């Protein structure tokens, strides 16, 4: 009789593994995608005043990176040509913690690689951070130069059509948003027995019309035959995959122009359920790390 000591290590491992199922999304490093700074090759850097204003701008943007809608725009400097305009946008489903980490990483990246440029932008999976010597607020910039795709294609007929349709609906919903211009959708593709996940987002300072046009331009550059593809630009981005790539639990309820009551109850459920669920897990499984 007695406890089988050999099973103890695996029991400890099991407890850690199970409790970690309920770990919060960890504050992992944001995933860097691309940086663009201009002019690309120059021997005459910007004025020192501009560079100082840029540093202040990036620091103020970082300190404002907990805004509830994941967006902030700001300018520093009072006299042209040394005014710097800047903004950031976090993906609509990321927490303020992740947003903050991402903007902090973006600031370091731009300070390191393009502290003397006129314009700069850095993209991560979780956010984008941008500055310019020209006014960029409430202004759409069409730029679909960044396209990513899964190398594998789906050959099933009707796949591209289904992706385009779902992307269109996602884009329309995102463009209708106000505080956030962000939407995700999930569609069951019965022919290939897969679930399609889509995402569309604009900076919320754009008009609905500009946002819609920007998203449509981006959708036109998606590789629809691929198993997954995304297009990113300074004003908007779109993406689809056959797996969930966003935090489904953190997606805000869609903006519905009518039926205010439904909206409130959906919002309440969206807020209360996660609170109740996390309270439960905290009680049962106090976080070990």
Longest dimension (CA), the chain: 84
Residue 70 structure tokens: 């994941």
**72 vs 93, beta carbon nearer ligand NAG:** 72
Site map for ligand NAG, 37-56, x if CB under 6 A? ---xx-----xxx-------
Selected from 74, 111, 148, 187, the binder of ligand NAG by CB under 6 A is 74
Q: How far is the CB of 87 from ligand NAG (least distance, A)?
A: 8
Task: Compute how many other C-beta atoms are within 10 angstroms of the C-beta atom of residue 163.
Answer: 25
**33 vs 164, beta carbon nearer ligand NAG:** 164
* Paired strand residues for 85: 75, 132
Region of 11-19, 25-33, 60-68, 245-253 interacting with ligand NAG (CB under 6 A)? 60-68
Does position 153 bind ligand NAG by CB under 6 A?
yes
Q: How far is the CB of 33 from ligand NAG (least distance, A)?
A: 20
Rounded Cα distance, 198 and 157, in Å: 19
**25 vs 81, beta carbon nearer ligand NAG:** 81
Rounded Cα distance, 9 and 217, in Å: 55
- The SS3 of residue 6 is coil
Report 161-220 residues binding ligand NAG (CB under 6 A): 161, 164-165, 168, 193, 205, 216
**93 vs 133, beta carbon nearer ligand NAG:** 133
Does position 73 bind ligand NAG by CB under 6 A?
yes
**22 vs 137, beta carbon nearer ligand NAG:** 137
- The SS3 of residue 131 is strand
Does position 69 bind ligand NAG by CB under 6 A?
no
Phi, psi of 270 (to 5 degrees): -60, -30
∠ CA 146-126-254 to the nearest 5 degrees? 100
DSSP state string for 211-269: HHHHHHHHHHHS-TTBS-EEEE-SSEEEEEESS--S-GGGPPPPP-SS-HHHHHHHHHH
| Cα-based distances in Å from 100 to 94, 205, 253 | 10, 20, 22
**93 vs 218, beta carbon nearer ligand NAG:** 218
User: Which residues in this chain contact ligand NAG in the complex, by CB under 6 A?
Assistant: 40-41, 47-49, 60, 63-64, 73-75, 81-82, 137-138, 151-153, 161, 164-165, 168, 193, 205, 216, 225
């Amino acid at each position: 009789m007695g406890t089988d000591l050999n099973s103890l290590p695996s029991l400890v491992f099991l407890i850690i593994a199970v409790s970690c199922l309920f770990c919060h999304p960890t504050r992992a490093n944001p995933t860097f995608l691309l940086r663009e700074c201009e002019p690309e090759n120059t021997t005459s850097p910007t004025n020192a005043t501009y560079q100082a204003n840029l540093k202040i701008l990036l620091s103020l943007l970082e300190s404002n990176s907990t805004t509830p809608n994941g967006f902030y725009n700001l300018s520093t400097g009072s006299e042209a040509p040394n005014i710097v305009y800047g903004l950031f946008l976090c993906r609509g489903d990321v927490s303020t913690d992740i947003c903050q980490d991402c903007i902090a990483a973006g600031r370091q990246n731009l300070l390191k690689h393009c502290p003397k440029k006129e314009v700069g932008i850095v993209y991560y999976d979780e956010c984008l951070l941008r500055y310019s010597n020209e006014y960029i607020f409430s202004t759409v910039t069409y730029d679909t130069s960044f396209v990513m795709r899964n190398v594998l294609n789906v050959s099933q007929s009707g796949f591209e059509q289904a992706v385009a349709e779902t992307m269109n609906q996602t884009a329309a919903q995102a463009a209708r948003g106000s505080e956030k211009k962000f939407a995700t959708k999930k569609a069951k593709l019965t022919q290939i027995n897969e679930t399609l996940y889509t995402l569309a987002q604009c900076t919320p300072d754009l008009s609905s019309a500009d946002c819609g046009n920007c998203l449509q331009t981006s959708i036109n550059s998606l590789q629809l035959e691929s198993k997954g593809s995304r297009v990113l630009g300074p004003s908007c981005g779109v993406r689809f995959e056959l797996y969930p790539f966003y935090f489904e639990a953190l997606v805000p309820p869609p903006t519905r122009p009518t039926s205010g009551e439904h909206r409130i109850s959906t919002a309440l459920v969206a807020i209360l359920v996660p609170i109740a669920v996390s309270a439960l897990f905290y009680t049962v499984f106090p976080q070990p790390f």
